[in-house]
């Protein structure tokens, strides 16, 4: 089980959290102008990197607030926790490929 | 304000009052229900002095800004739930206390950007005490309840106990080896959680008390 440091409550067990998928996916400003392929890209297609992944988490069983997490998908190491609406801090992720 | 009506505990059907132990001091875990707490959920900006002053005026307590802590004046306790969210709790009060507390808060808060919601109806408070109370909770909860990690009296945390969402508040220090916790859960989880607790505490010896 991961230990995730909620920016509000502190370090807690993963079972208190809910994963919200990849972070920093912006909703298209004008969805009607999109082609089907572009819309499918926005709705369905997500990165599946080996290494650094930026994702959203919600502390469902705690303070119920959203935040962003930078995680290494190979080692499961949590590299950074940063607030919603902000860009990730400078990271030096390990490269696998 | 709603008219008062007969509130019934979600554990009423278990007949706990008829099962209270005559020798609770012999049991390592004492379980009881603190009936029908008055609870008001509060949202607001703790950095705004007017919000803090309004709470002091209405409740006699200032909202704690430190995470997972509780401020109390002996009557009303304010439990930290989030960076802008608290739960005002009062035990043993008259049935109208909750509506009165909420009305007082609304008057004091005035036009401030804040919210008060009466939520007492959804909470069931189970009181756990005794030398093995910590062990029982730790069987199903990922929190470390040792005072070194949890902080002891005056600390609270939201987590889950055997998958049921809980709000845990340590109310007695346990320096004498007898820590006590108030455990709040939602109405619909109460029956399940009570049975789970009684089962989990069974191996240490459990007594039902009226706290």
Paired sense of beta strands B206-208 and B29-34, if any:
parallel
How many CB atoms within 10 Å of residue A74?
A: 13
- Express each pLDDT in A41-78 by its tens digit: 999 999 999 999 999 999 999 999 999 999 999 999 99
How many residue pairs from chains A and B have C-beta atoms closer than 8 A? 35
Q: Which of A41, A50, A45, A48 is nearest to A72 (CA)?
A: A50
Contact (CB, 8 A) for A94 and A72: yes
Closest CA of chain B from A18, distance in Å: 13
How many Cα atoms occupy the beta-carbon half-sphere of B66 within 13 Å?
Answer: 7
Per-domain residue ranges for chain B? 12-35+122-208, 38-120
Contacts of A1 in chain B (CB under 8 A): 142
Contact (CB, 8 A) for A46 and A22: yes
Residue B103 has pLDDT above 90, yes or no: yes
Region label for B33, one of left (φ > 0), alpha (ψ between -120 and 50) or beta (otherwise): beta
> How far is it, in rounded angstroms, from Cα B50 to Cα B28?
46
Please name the residue that has the structure tokens 């206390």.
B97
Q: Is B158 on the interface with A (CB under 8 A)?
A: yes
The pLDDT score that the predictor gives to residue B1 is 58
Contact (CB, 8 A) for A1 and A14: yes
Radius of gyration of chain B (CA): 17
Residue B175 has pLDDT above 80, yes or no: no
The pLDDT score that the predictor gives to residue B135 is 94
Residue B143 has pLDDT above 80, yes or no: yes
How many Cα atoms occupy the beta-carbon half-sphere of B167 within 13 Å?
Answer: 23
How buried is residue A58: exposed, middle or buried, by Cβ count under 10 Å (0-12/13-18/19+)?
middle
Considering the entire predicted model, what is its pTM?
0.91
The pLDDT score that the predictor gives to residue B7 is 81
Residue B2 has pLDDT above 70, yes or no: no
- Express each pLDDT in A8-49 by its tens digit: 999 999 999 999 999 999 999 999 999 999 999 999 999 999
Q: For A69-83, B51-65, B147-161, B175-189, which range has the lowest pLDDT when averaged over its residues?
A: B175-189
Share of chain B above pLDDT 90, in %: 88
- Complex prediction ipTM: 0.89
**Looking at chain B from residue 5 to 64, which residues have their Cβ under 8 Å from any Cβ of chain A?**
none
Q: Is B85 on the interface with A (CB under 8 A)?
A: yes
Residue B191 has pLDDT above 70, yes or no: yes
**Superfamily designation of domain B38-120:** Heterotetrameric sarcosine oxidase (3.30.70.1520)
The pLDDT score that the predictor gives to residue B3 is 62
pLDDT level of residue A93 (50, 70, 90 thresholds): confident
> How far is it, in rounded angstroms, from Cα A86 to Cα A70?
12
Average confidence score pLDDT of chain B? 93
- Express each pLDDT in B6-27 by its tens digit: 788 999 999 999 999 998 888 9
Q: Which of B69, B49, B68 is nearest to B57 (CA)?
A: B49
Contact A8 B67 (CB under 8 A): yes
The pLDDT score that the predictor gives to residue B90 is 96
The pLDDT score that the predictor gives to residue B178 is 87
Contact B82 A15 (CB under 8 A): no
pLDDT level of residue A97 (50, 70, 90 thresholds): confident
How buried is residue A54: exposed, middle or buried, by Cβ count under 10 Å (0-12/13-18/19+)?
buried
Q: Is B202 on the interface with A (CB under 8 A)?
A: no
> How far is it, in rounded angstroms, from Cα B9 to Cα B169?
20
Please name the residue that has the structure tokens 């900006």.
B45
Tokens read off for A59: 């502390």
Tokens read off for A37: 């392929």
Which architecture does CATH list for B12-35+122-208?
Answer: 2-Layer Sandwich (3.30)
Mean pLDDT of B127-145: 95
The pLDDT score that the predictor gives to residue B95 is 86
* CA angle, residues A54, A84, A66, in degrees to nearest 5: 90
Mean pLDDT of B183-195: 96
């Amino acid at each position: 089980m991961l230990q995730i440091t909620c920016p509000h409550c502190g370090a807690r067990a993963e079972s208190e959290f809910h994963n919200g998928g990849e972070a920093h996916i912006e909703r298209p400003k004008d969805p009607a102008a999109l082609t089907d392929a572009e819309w499918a890209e926005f709705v369905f297609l997500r990165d599946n990197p080996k290494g650094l992944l930026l994702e959203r988490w919600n502390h469902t069983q705690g303070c119920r607030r959203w935040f962003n997490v930078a995680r290494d998908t190979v080692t499961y190491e949590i590299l950074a926790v940063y607030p919603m609406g902000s860009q990730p801090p400078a990271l030096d992720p390990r490269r696998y490929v | 304000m709603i008219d008062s009506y007969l509130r019934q505990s979600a554990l009423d059907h278990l007949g706990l009052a008829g099962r209270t132990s005559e020798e609770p001091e012999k049991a390592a875990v004492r379980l009881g229900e603190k009936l029908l707490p008055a609870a008001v959920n509060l949202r607001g900006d703790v950095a705004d002095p007017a919000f803090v002053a309004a709470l002091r005026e209405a409740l006699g307590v200032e909202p704690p800004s430190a995470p997972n802590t509780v401020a109390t004046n002996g009557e009303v306790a304010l439990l930290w739930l989030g960076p802008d969210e608290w739960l005002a709790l009062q035990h043993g009060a008259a049935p109208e206390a909750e509506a009165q507390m909420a009305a007082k808060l609304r008057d004091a808060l005035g036009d401030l950007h804040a919210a008060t919601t009466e939520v007492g109806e959804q909470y069931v408070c189970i009181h756990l005490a005794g030398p093995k109370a910590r062990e029982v909770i730790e069987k199903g909860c990922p929190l470390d309840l040792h005072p070194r990690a949890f902080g002891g009296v005056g600390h609270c945390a939201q987590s889950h106990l055997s998958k049921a969402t809980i709000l845990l508040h340590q109310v007695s220090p346990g320096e004498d080896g007898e820590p006590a916790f108030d455990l709040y859960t939602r109405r619909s989880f109460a029956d399940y959680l009570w049975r789970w607790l009684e089962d989990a505490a069974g191996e240490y010896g459990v007594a039902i008390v009226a706290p």
